[in-house]
Structure 1
Amino acid sequence: MAQNTVISAFLLKWENSKNYLIEMAELMPEEHYNYKPTERQMSFQEQLLHIRSNMVWLSETNFVDDTYIKSEKIAPKTKEELILELTNSFDKVTEIITSISEEDLTTQVDFFAGPKSKLQILNLLQDHVTHHRGQLIIYLNLNNITPPKYRGW
């Protein structure tokens, strides 16, 4: 896929980000999904659920119209179910972003942190995943699991 537009570059990075996170989720044994390094931190599973809910919220609040059927809140019971929901959510973001135009990225939206362009929201989508994925790398290391090799692009 070419990366000569903002959207095409995002979509390429988004697919790599999905694959990277899913690999991490697969590496952690299911019995360690409740692991958290300290009491005040989210567990491995809570981190994954948080990533998923944030990507759903950001994409479905800022890039679709009122006719879009929004995702439901989830409560997966197994590691496999959670990984499937994560994968589906990444794919939904891809579908949503594929349907917008480059011009649409200049549109301003109301955001809790003040007005933002859709381009800023697009950047936040990726940045938020990266932030929490970095925490998950530490969770894996603390459980003596070698994290997957970093993929930049």
Structure 2
Amino acid sequence: MQIRLAERKDIDQLIQMRWDFTVEHNETKTFEESDLEVFKIECRSFLENAIASETWFIWVAEKESKIVSHIYIELIQKVPRPGRVTYPFAFMTNVFTVKDYRNLGIGSKLITTINEWSKNRKYEFIIVWPSDDSIDFYRRNGYIHCKEPMEYFPI
């Protein structure tokens, strides 16, 4: 098992994994082949930009050239404050492991790598909005369940 940052060569696998994640967790919508084609264009553009950026970090767990798990991290820059060095915080999203590889400790190895990486880079904290099903996973990996944030929906 290799844990590494995603590269351009991984884009097709990452697109398919995002599609599979959405289909698996969306019980109310049926997707058409045309939906997949539109999605591929949008997702490819996002991934090309993300991989080339200095604010997105896509971590993957790879086994025999197949990506079996991934976690996306976006760095959020904070407004500086007088009297201290300001470090960004990390927003964790799109945490997914392929069904056949779940409950084997792969996600925990991936998140442990990210936790060490963020500690070494002195990021202030990592924030994630877990699904109800994933709260125990994050707790087992050192995360604290905090109160819900406030939201505003402009539409």
Same fold flag (TM > 0.5): no
- Structure with the bigger RCO (C-alpha within 8 Å, sep 6+) is 1
Larger radius of gyration: 2
Q: Which has the higher helix share?
A: 1
TM-score, normalised via structure 1 length: 0.29
Q: Which has the higher strand share?
A: 2
